Amino acid sequence: MGRLVDQVDVVAVKGEKTAEKLGNHLVDGFQMIALFAIGGTIVWSAFHAYLGMMSKGAATVEDILLLFVFLELGAMVGIYFKTNRLPVQFLIYVAITVMTRSLASSLNIKDMTDERLLTIAAATLGLAIASLVLCYSAEGEMPVISHVSDRDTDRKR
């Protein structure tokens, strides 16, 4: 009877390992598809925005900042694709650029209340300080959000 229980345990452990491997492959496959979709959307959107600028015959500061947003988003996707880690600072850079873009818009700034203008400026300053803190606290390594555990990273080396 004890031998049968041991065999059932062995089968159960093998089944768990197989299910875990299958789950990991499905997650990795979904991640790959999502990264290509996001990257393609960024390229398509940047190209469409660039064509709009070309058709106007000139680019405003707001347009150029929009291109920087696309560049930063593309860099985030590229870094995540290569390392499975998302650099936190890039998220902050995107937010700073978006807020700067809203301040640079001549249409929006005329309609903004003083409180909204000061709030955006203070939030931009707060994000810049957060980026500075992250930079100096990282000790030579960029802070990241990772779905890969240190154990998985050690196994790949």
Q: DSSP characters for 42-61? A: HHHHHHHHHHHHHHHTS--H
Tokens read off for 15: 């089944």
pLDDT in tens, 147-156: 665 545 544 4
Q: What is the mean pLDDT of the chain?
A: 83
pLDDT in tens, 98-111: 888 888 775 666 77
d(CA 84, CA 107): 39
More confident residue, 23 or 140: 23
Tokens read off for 28: 């990795």
Instruction: Look at residue 34 and tell me whether its pLDDT is greater than 60.
Output: yes
Instruction: Give the angle subtended at the CA of 140 by the CAs of 136 and 145, to the nearest 5°.
Output: 85
| Residue appearing with tokens 């209340």 | 113
Q: What pLDDT is stored for residue 50 in this prediction?
A: 94
The count of C-alpha atoms lying within 13 angstroms of the C-alpha of 68, restricted to the half-sphere facing its C-beta, is 18
| Secondary structure tally for the chain: helices H, strands E | 6, 2
More confident residue, 43 or 153: 43
- Bridge partners of 86, per DSSP, are 145
d(CA 60, CA 63): 5
d(CA 74, CA 69): 9
Query: Model-level pTM?
Result: 0.68
Tokens read off for 97: 């650029």
Instruction: Look at residue 84 and tell me whether its pLDDT is greater than 90.
Output: no
